[in-house]
Amino acid sequence: MDATRNTALEAWMEEHGYSSNSLADAVNGALEQLTGHCGGLDGSSVRDWKAGRVRWPKSATRKALETVSGLPATALGFVPRGRSSSAPAAPQEDPDMKRRTLVGGATAAAAAVAAPGIAGTRRIGLSDVGRLQARFAEVIASDHRYGGQLGIEQRAAALADEALNLQNSGSASQRVRNNLYGCAASFRSSAMWAAIDGRRYADAKAHMREAQALAEMSGDQAIKFRIWSHAGAMYRHMGRPAEALAANDVARGLHITRRDPMFASLGLARQAAIHGVAQDRTRTRRALDQAQDALDRMDPNDFRPVWLSAFYDQAELNSLALSAYLQLGDFLIAESHAHRCLATLRPHMRRSQAITTTRLAHAQLAQGDIEAATATAMQVSADAATQHPRVSRMLQEFGAALRARAPRSSTAQIWIEHTRDAWRPTA
């Protein structure tokens, strides 16, 4: 019988921004957490799933995939052995209900252990860690769609607290406890980034301090890198390049950047953006060349944390180059990087698309191409224009620059009407 494509899995992967290789990496990581041994899946394994050549993966693989996705295997289109694909499947669990159950279960377990008179101690294991990591993947996906939202920040902070509460809800090995601290640090770093993206810098600093302490307790080099790299980005957005460089240097000094070229490339690309703010052309170009070289040396099959593999690639490198050259006033080069970024940007990176499009409009306007710049700015979605603080501010700055350059032009009037009608906030 010919294999039937697993369209449910394909749809889920597209929705959550997974390629075959990145999903294989994520499942391998979950397998390692669950079994203590890294999985041997690769992109071809996932392609076999999508093509229907493998209709029911091995039990450990299914468990790892369910941990990553937060869904039962049947909801992802897999068919148990002995069941026809046309036979009615078991009722699928509602994903939102499943997520609520996971949160409620963890909280209830913590309360039960803390309550006096309850006999027995719960054993916390890697499966609990895996469930938290699946929630972290959801936070990452929300950030790439919406970015900067207070709700994302609050949700991530609450999940960090949940991970810490789990520490006190039972007994666990040191390895599991380190992983729980790593989960809490990951969530707190996402809360930090959401606050940075929303220009809530005082809140971002508070999250940063908690995240740094948790990362030290976890011993996780990858999450340490993320936190310090975010700190560098925060100070860059605040216009404080000296502090930004100092923070980013801490991230770049971690040994993970010597072990993995992808971490090295991200650190160098963000360093270039900081040099742009500092108006240092020579160091900007050198850092970008080094970032590109490191990215070219990267092995795409190596396992990396979901927060990194979900966003850093050639498009993000071009986005950071765009930011740097805008700051330097090299608008033609900036425009070139903007076009290259948009051409390769993954579909789930909606927040990045809005930011890059807005920066492209600025680069075009600075070159005197008023009509093209305005047409570009009008492509930004209403949601991003009205709900993302960083995008909203850049568009306000665009409008001010347009009115200063061509105050009585028909193009300026078109822009005014567009912002009044198309981007009017909904009640």
Q: What's residue 83's pLDDT? A: 54
Residue 84 has pLDDT above 70, yes or no: no
**In this structure, which amino acid lies at residue 159?**
L
Q: What's residue 114's pLDDT? A: 36
**What 3-state DSSP class applies to 195?**
helix
Q: How far apart are CA 310 and CA 305, in angstroms?
A: 9
Phi-psi label, residue 234: left if phi above 0, alpha if psi -120 to 50, beta otherwise: alpha
pLDDT band at 355 (very low <50, low <70, confident <90, very high): very high
Q: How far apart are CA 133 and CA 182, in angstroms?
A: 10
pLDDT band at 104 (very low <50, low <70, confident <90, very high): very low
Q: Which of 335, 220, 208, 316 is nearest to 270 (CA)?
A: 316
**Phi first, then psi: what are they for 170, rounded to 5°?**
175, -175
Report the percentage of the chain scoring pLDDT > 90.
48
Q: What's residue 424's pLDDT? A: 65
Q: What's residue 168's pLDDT? A: 80
Mean pLDDT score across all residues of the chain: 84
Greatest Cα pair distance, the chain, in angstroms, is: 78
Residue 2 has pLDDT above 80, yes or no: no
Residue 118 has pLDDT above 70, yes or no: no
Q: What's residue 125's pLDDT? A: 83
Residue 120 has pLDDT above 70, yes or no: no
Question: By the 8 A CB rule, do 26 and 69 touch?
Answer: no
Q: Token pair of 8, please? A: 């449910």
pLDDT band at 321 (very low <50, low <70, confident <90, very high): very high
Residue 171's DSSP bridge partners are: 123
- Cβ neighbours around 213 below 10 Å, total: 14
- Cβ neighbours around 7 below 10 Å, total: 11
Q: What's residue 82's pLDDT? A: 64
Distances (CA, A) of 264 to 90, 252, 284: 46, 7, 15
Q: What's residue 17's pLDDT? A: 66
Residue 232 has pLDDT above 80, yes or no: yes
Residue 160 has pLDDT above 60, yes or no: yes
Q: Which of 146, 145, 164, 225 is nearest to 189 (CA)?
A: 225
29 CB contacts (<8 Å, ≥6 apart)? 38, 39, 133, 303, 305, 306
Residue 318 has pLDDT above 60, yes or no: yes
* Per-residue burial over 399-423, b = 16 or more CB atoms within 10 Å of its CB, e = otherwise: beebeeebeeeebbeebeeebeeeb
Lowest mean pLDDT among 4-18, 206-220, 309-323: 4-18
pLDDT band at 230 (very low <50, low <70, confident <90, very high): very high
Q: Which of 320, 322, 301 is nearest to 312 (CA)?
A: 320
Domain ranges of the chain: 7-78
Q: Token pair of 165, please? A: 């509460």
Question: By the 8 A CB rule, do 16 and 65 touch?
Answer: no
Residue 96 has pLDDT above 60, yes or no: no
Q: What's residue 425's pLDDT? A: 54
Q: Token pair of 398, please? A: 């665009």
Instruction: Read off the pLDDT of each residue in 359-371 and give the average, rounded to a whole number.
Output: 96
Q: What's residue 113's pLDDT? A: 34
Higher pLDDT among residues 338 and 93, named by residue: 338
Q: What is the pLDDT of residues 237-276, one digit of tens each?
A: 999 999 999 999 999 999 999 999 999 999 999 999 999 9
Question: By the 8 A CB rule, do 39 and 28 touch?
Answer: yes
Q: What's residue 98's pLDDT? A: 39
pLDDT band at 88 (very low <50, low <70, confident <90, very high): very low
Lowest mean pLDDT among 39-43, 189-193, 291-295: 39-43
Q: Token pair of 324, please? A: 């740097």
* Per-residue burial over 57-78, b = 16 or more CB atoms within 10 Å of its CB, e = otherwise: beeebbbbbbbbbbbbbbbbbb
DSSP 54-122: -SS--HHHHHHHHHHHSS-GGGGT---TTS-TTSPPPPPPPHHHHHHHHHHHHHHHHHHHHSTT--S-E
Lowest mean pLDDT among 21-25, 88-92, 139-143, 149-153: 88-92
Q: How far apart are CA 319 and CA 311, in angstroms?
A: 11
Residue 170's DSSP bridge partners are: 122
Q: What's residue 145's pLDDT? A: 73
